[in-house]
């Protein structure tokens, strides 16, 4: 086996540029002194790296003025105020949110299109997304196209081909959504597609409330329910990329019918449809109806409270399975489950305690997503930023010096 060649200075420079930009993307503005310390390089090396990133139009540097301290204040390096951006898209059953996102996760512009079963075919959704991408790009006022498009959607995504294997609540089966969308966008625009819960946990782990936590489950509950998992500090995806579909674990084959074609899936007990069913409101799920049930429960309405308690018990049981299987340190509850946690934390925790084995369940903490309802959206932005952060020189089209 031939020995690997030593890293050339050019490769080291690329690697270090990637590291500096990644630190700024994850943590926001940092002083040169902080960056120097984090990368363990000399001050002059850091000076050259920052100069490169300024040249590439990716960061700005400001020299703090004033201050009564001894010595010169360290320069502060932050994302360039009018630098590159990506477009992130959060496709859900009831709405499509599109946003332009800058380095550091800054939400620049946002566009929301309500949808429903009448506009949920892959072609219709791609059409809405393409128009929205154009709209939010113009709204940035930056007069340049986005670096790439990141898509979050409620389905399993093949990690090798990027095809959507199945999105039960959209009724999609084996859809090359990235390619379909690409045909409607200016040529050459990169599109990355990910599962909503997978990208939500990615955003929270890279830049959010669990950045220092190695074992995390993000349970996203909307119409559908799925889990994004970080295990040992790395995304747990499985061979094809389909891991985490706990919403379709069957707990009772004689239970309510599920969109996936089976019956008695976890989703039919803890998804938004379950809350509506238990509250005796058989409308198609919508954010308004769910909000009305929560409002009634907060007022003490008996039927709404019973529905909330019923779903909480089932949620605690589902969490117990996750805790027994994965032993996470934190579990984030996103989507409508976040509000359920607000109203019924004691009931959820009691059911979790009752159904999880004592030892692995002991340390788990349930928490709200730090990005509120935007975790999946910001995770989609992470997908789109990945290439730039891995190699700022090549992605910005700059030639190595
Ligand atoms: Zn199912």
* Helix (H), strand (E) at residue 110: strand 107-114
Which is nearest to 318 in space by CA: 356, 291, 345? 356
| pLDDT of res. 63 | 85
In eight-state DSSP terms, residue 79 is E
Q: How many A from CA of 8 to the centre of ligand 1?
A: 52
| pLDDT of res. 147 | 95
Residue 325 CB coordination number (10 Å) = 12
Q: How many A from CA of 244 to the centre of ligand 1?
A: 13
| pLDDT of res. 185 | 96
Q: How many A from CA of 369 to the centre of ligand 1?
A: 25
Taking every pair of Cα atoms in the chain, the longest distance, rounded to a whole number of angstroms, is 74
Q: How many A from CA of 190 to the centre of ligand 1?
A: 32
For the segment 207-216, the average pLDDT, to the nearest whole number, is 96
Q: How many A from CA of 225 to the centre of ligand 1?
A: 9
Q: How many A from CA of 322 to the centre of ligand 1?
A: 17
What is the spatial distance between Cα 258 and Cα 272, in angstroms, rounded to a whole number?
12
For the segment 75-95, the average pLDDT, to the nearest whole number, is 95
Q: How many A from CA of 224 to the centre of ligand 1?
A: 9
Q: How many A from CA of 154 to the centre of ligand 1?
A: 13
Q: Which residues, 6+ apart, have CB-to-CB distance to 314 below 8 Å?
A: 266, 269, 270, 274, 351
Q: How many A from CA of 256 to the centre of ligand 1?
A: 10
| pLDDT of res. 70 | 63
Q: Binning pLDDT at 50, 70 and 90, where does residue 67 land?
A: low
Give the torsion through C-alpha atoms of 335, 338, 343, 345, to 10 deg: 140
Query: What residues does each domain of the chain span?
Result: 9-79, 85-199+376-395, 209-369
Q: Which residues, 6+ apart, have CB-to-CB distance to 163 below 8 Å?
A: 157, 174, 175, 176, 177, 178
Q: Binning pLDDT at 50, 70 and 90, where does residue 400 land?
A: very low
Q: Select from 3.10.450.50, 1.20.1250.20, 1.10.10.10, 3.40.50.450 the CATH code of 9-79.
A: 1.10.10.10
In eight-state DSSP terms, residue 388 is H
Burial (CB count <10 Å: 0-12, 13-18, 19+), residue 194: buried
| pLDDT of res. 284 | 79
Q: How many A from CA of 79 to the centre of ligand 1?
A: 43
Is the pLDDT reported for residue 351 higher than 80? Answer: yes
Q: How many A from CA of 73 to the centre of ligand 1?
A: 58
In the predicted model, what is the mean pLDDT of the chain? 92
CA distances from 302 to 175, 293, 299, 359 (A): 43, 11, 9, 35
Q: How many A from CA of 267 to the centre of ligand 1?
A: 6
Q: How many A from CA of 318 to the centre of ligand 1?
A: 14
DSSP three-state, residue 107: strand
Q: How many A from CA of 253 to the centre of ligand 1?
A: 10
Is the pLDDT reported for residue 401 higher than 50? Answer: no
* CA within 13 Å, CB half, 127: 7
Q: How many A from CA of 31 to the centre of ligand 1?
A: 49
Q: Select from 3.40.50.300, 3.40.50.720, 3.30.420.40, 3.90.930.12 the CATH code of 85-199+376-395.
A: 3.30.420.40
Q: How many A from CA of 170 to the centre of ligand 1?
A: 13
List of E strands, 168-295: 172-175, 191-195, 216-221, 225-231, 234-235
Q: How many A from CA of 248 to the centre of ligand 1?
A: 4
| pLDDT of res. 117 | 85
Q: How many A from CA of 260 to the centre of ligand 1?
A: 4
CA distances from 124 to 117, 121, 129 (A): 11, 5, 9
Q: How many A from CA of 158 to the centre of ligand 1?
A: 18
Q: How many A from CA of 246 to the centre of ligand 1?
A: 9
Q: How many A from CA of 247 to the centre of ligand 1?
A: 6
Is the pLDDT reported for residue 396 higher than 90? Answer: no
Q: How many A from CA of 263 to the centre of ligand 1?
A: 6
Q: How many A from CA of 62 to the centre of ligand 1?
A: 53
Provide φ and ψ at 58, rounded to 5°: -100, -30
What is the spatial distance between Cα 130 and Cα 113, in angstroms, rounded to a whole number?
12
Q: How many A from CA of 72 to the centre of ligand 1?
A: 61
Q: How many A from CA of 91 to the centre of ligand 1?
A: 19
Q: How many A from CA of 327 to the centre of ligand 1?
A: 24
Q: Which residues, 6+ apart, have CB-to-CB distance to 347 below 8 Å?
A: 308, 309, 312, 313, 316
Is the pLDDT reported for residue 3 higher than 70? Answer: no
Q: Domain 209-369 - what CATH class?
A: alpha beta
Share of the chain above pLDDT 90, in %: 84
Contact between 311 and 340 (Cβ < 8 Å) = yes
| pLDDT of res. 2 | 53
Do the domains 209-369 and 85-199+376-395 match in fold?
yes
Q: How many A from CA of 289 to the centre of ligand 1?
A: 22
| pLDDT of res. 286 | 81
């Amino acid at each position: 086996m031939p020995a690997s060649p030593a890293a050339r200075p050019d490769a080291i420079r690329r690697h270090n540029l990637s590291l500096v930009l990644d630190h700024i993307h994850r943590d926001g503005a940092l002083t040169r002194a902080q960056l120097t310390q984090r990368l363990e390089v000399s001050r002059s090396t850091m000076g050259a790296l920052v100069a490169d990133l300024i040249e590439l139009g990716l960061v700005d540097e400001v020299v703090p003025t004033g201050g009564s301290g001894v010595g010169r204040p360290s320069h502060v390096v932050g994302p360039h105020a009018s630098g590159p951006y990506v477009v992130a898209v959060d496709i859900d059953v009831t709405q499509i949110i599109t946003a332009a996102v800058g380095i550091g996760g800054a939400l620049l512009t946002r566009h929301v299109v309500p949808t429903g079963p009448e506009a949920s075919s892959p072609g219709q959704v791609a059409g809405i997304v393409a128009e929205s991408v154009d709209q939010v790009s113009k709204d940035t006022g930056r007069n340049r196209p986005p670096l790439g498009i990141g898509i979050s959607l409620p389905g399993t995504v093949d990690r090798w081909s990027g095809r959507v294997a199945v999105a039960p609540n959209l009724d999609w089966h084996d859809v090359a959504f990235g390619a379909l969308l690409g045909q409607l966008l200016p040529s050459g625009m990169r599109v990355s597609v990910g599962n909503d819960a997978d990208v939500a946990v990615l955003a929270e782990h890279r830049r959010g409330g669990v950045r220092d936590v190695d074992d995390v489950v993000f349970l996203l509950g909307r119409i559908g329910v799925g889990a994004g998992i970080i295990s040992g500090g790395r995304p747990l995806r499985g061979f094809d990329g389909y891991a985490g579909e706990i919403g379709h674990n069957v707990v009772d084959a004689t239970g309510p019918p599920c969109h996936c074609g089976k019956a008695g899936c976890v989703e039919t007990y803890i998804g938004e449809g379950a809350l509506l069913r238990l509250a005796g409101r058989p409308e198609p799920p919508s954010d308004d109806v769910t909000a009305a049930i929560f409002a009634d429960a907060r007022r003490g309405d008996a039927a709404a409270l019973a529905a909330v308690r019923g779903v909480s018990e089932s949620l605690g049981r589902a969490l117990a399975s996750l805790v027994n299987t994965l032993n996470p340190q934190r579990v984030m509850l996103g989507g409508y489950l976040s509000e359920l946690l607000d109203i019924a934390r004691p009931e959820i925790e009691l059911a979790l305690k009752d159904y999880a084995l004592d030892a692995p369940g002991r340390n788990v903490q349930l928490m709200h997503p730090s990005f509120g309802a935007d975790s999946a959206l910001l995770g989609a932005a992470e997908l789109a930023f990945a290439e730039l952060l891995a190699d700022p020189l090549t992605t910005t089209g700059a030639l190595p010096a």
